[in-house]
């Protein structure tokens, strides 16, 4: 009798377990189908029908599903037409600076359901050969998007290339321009570290940072060294200001983006006139990697490439002090022009 009761109990538990698993699989499939079928709300609607939790789960998942397929070329012209998808010229460009955090900024802005990013650096405006191919070639390099979304690309070489401001102005004189900066000496060392790593991968030798950054003949800062020149932000910005008013620029604190990304991203949302949608839900600190990673929804997370956050070589303190002193007057002018002050030496 006891044996029969135990057998009956096991049978009931099996049935209940099967029903629970079946229900779970149905819900997963249901969510997936809704994400595939439900389009993003237009910006004009301010995403009012969605809660904070629904934005990452539904709108973002939809965008990364359907639009990813189109980016891979797995869509017919009819499908593109039916979904009202277009390849738009950027309404905002991250123009620099190199080793300031341009990739991190682009990936983080892509958390916003109204933003679509160009996956690769296009190098249209700073490359004469590409620029000669014309604006339609550039447009075709952009990802598919909905008309209400904004496309953003980034090419940090734009900031320091002399011809770029005029070329971008001719495309769109009202475009919004994003510049992400770090403390100039740290940025220069980071620039050097990336080049050094590339040399080491090819088993090549390379000069020490001190020898490149300091002119051996004068013992002063070597302004011919590209890593130093790039960090003189005000010199490059003044060239851009010949074509664009300062109101069309937004300066992002690259150092703060590493340690406290959300406030910086919220400032960019405001600058781009986007409804606030990036939240702490979308950002989590990865202690192993030492920086923040991205959470798009309950199943999809993303950390930046392992090459980010390279360990810098030790640099002679006297050289660092000399660089701080050299950059100081340029930094003060940069603060004055942009209206944003940083705690740089």
Question: Residue 93 sits in a domain of what CATH number?
Answer: 3.40.50.300
| Any domain includes 108 | yes
CA distance 231 to 208: 18
Active site residue 322: no
Q: What is the pTM of this model?
A: 0.78
Residue 72 lies in a domain: no
Q: Is the model's pLDDT at 334 over the cut of 70?
A: yes
Q: Point out the least confidently predicted range of 107-121, 130-144, 306-320.
A: 306-320
pLDDT in tens, 191-247: 999 999 999 899 998 999 999 999 999 999 999 999 999 999 999 999 999 999 999
Q: Is 102 annotated as a binding residue?
A: yes
* Preceding peptide of 97 cis, ω within 30°: yes
Q: What is the mean pLDDT of the chain?
A: 83
Catalytic site residue from 99, 117, 154, 176: 99
pLDDT at 309: 64
Cα 202 → chain centroid: 28
Residues 30-54: pLDDT tens digits? 333 333 323 333 333 333 333 333 3
Split at pLDDT 50, 70, 90, the class of 164 is very high
State the pairing for strand pair 115-117/150-154: parallel
Number of structural domains in the chain: 1
Query: What is the pLDDT confidence band of residue 298, given thresholds at 50, 70 and 90?
Result: confident
Q: Is position 232 annotated in a ligand binding site?
A: no
Taking residues 130-134, what's their average pLDDT? 98
Query: pLDDT > 70: what percent of the chain?
Result: 75
Compute the average pLDDT of residues 280-306: 85
Looking at the chain, the whole-number percentage of residues with pLDDT higher than 90 is: 67
> Does residue 22 belong to any structural domain of this protein?
no
pLDDT score recorded for residue 146: 93
| 22 marked ligand binding residue | no
Q: Is residue 31 part of a domain?
A: no
The reply to whether 312 sits in an annotated binding site is yes
Q: Is residue 41 part of a domain?
A: no
CA 342 to chain centre: 21
In a domain, 40, yes or no: no
For residues 54 and 161, give the distance between their C-alpha atoms in angstroms, rounded to a whole number: 42
Residue 74 included in any domain? no
On whether 83 is known to bind a ligand per the annotation, the reply is no
Question: Using CA atoms, how far apart are residues 179 and 157, in angstroms rounded to an integer?
Answer: 11
Average pLDDT over every residue of 160-177: 98
pLDDT band at 153 (very low <50, low <70, confident <90, very high): very high
Per-residue confidence (pLDDT) for residue 17, from 0 to 100? 52
pLDDT at 28: 39
> Does the residue 227 lie in any domain?
yes
Give the structural domain span for 226: 84-338
């Amino acid at each position: 009798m006891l044996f029969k009761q135990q057998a009956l109990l096991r049978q009931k538990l099996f049935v209940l377990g099967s029903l629970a698993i079946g229900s779970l699989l149905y819900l997963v499939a249901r969510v997936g189908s809704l994400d595939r079928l439900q389009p993003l709300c237009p910006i004009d609607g301010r995403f009012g029908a969605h809660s904070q939790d629904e934005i990452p789960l539904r709108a973002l998942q939809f965008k990364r599903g359907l639009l990813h397929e189109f980016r891979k070329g797995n869509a017919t012209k009819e499908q593109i037409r039916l979904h009202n998808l277009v390849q738009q010229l950027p309404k905002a460009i991250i123009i620099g600076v190199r080793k300031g955090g341009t990739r991190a900024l682009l990936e983080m802005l892509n958390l916003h359901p109204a933003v679509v990013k160009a996956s690769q650096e296009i190098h249209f405006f700073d490359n004469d050969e590409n620029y000669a191919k014309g604006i339609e070639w550039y447009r075709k390099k952009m990802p598919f998007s909905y008309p209400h979304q904004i496309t953003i690309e980034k090419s940090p070489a734009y900031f320091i290339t002399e011809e770029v401001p005029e070329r971008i102005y001719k495309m769109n004189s009202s475009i919004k321009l994003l510049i992400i900066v770090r403390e100039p000496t740290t940025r220069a060392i980071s620039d050097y570290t990336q080049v050094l790593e590339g040399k080491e991968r090819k088993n090549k030798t390379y000069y020490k940072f001190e020898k490149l950054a300091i002119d051996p003949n004068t013992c002063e800062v070597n302004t011919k060294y590209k890593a130093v020149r790039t960090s003189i932000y005000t010199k490059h910005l003044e060239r851009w200001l010949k074509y664009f008013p300062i109101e069309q620029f937004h300066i992002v604190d690259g150092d703060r983006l590493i340690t406290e990304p959300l406030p910086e991203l919220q400032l960019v949302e405001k600058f781009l006139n986007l409804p606030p949608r990036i939240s702490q839900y979308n950002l989590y600190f990865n202690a192993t990697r030492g920086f923040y990673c991205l959470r798009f929804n309950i199943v999809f997370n993303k950390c930046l490439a392992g090459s980010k956050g390279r360990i810098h070589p030790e640099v002679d303190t006297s050289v660092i002090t000399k660089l701080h002193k050299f950059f100081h007057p340029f930094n003060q002018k940069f603060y004055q022009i942009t209206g944003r002050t940083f705690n740089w030496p």
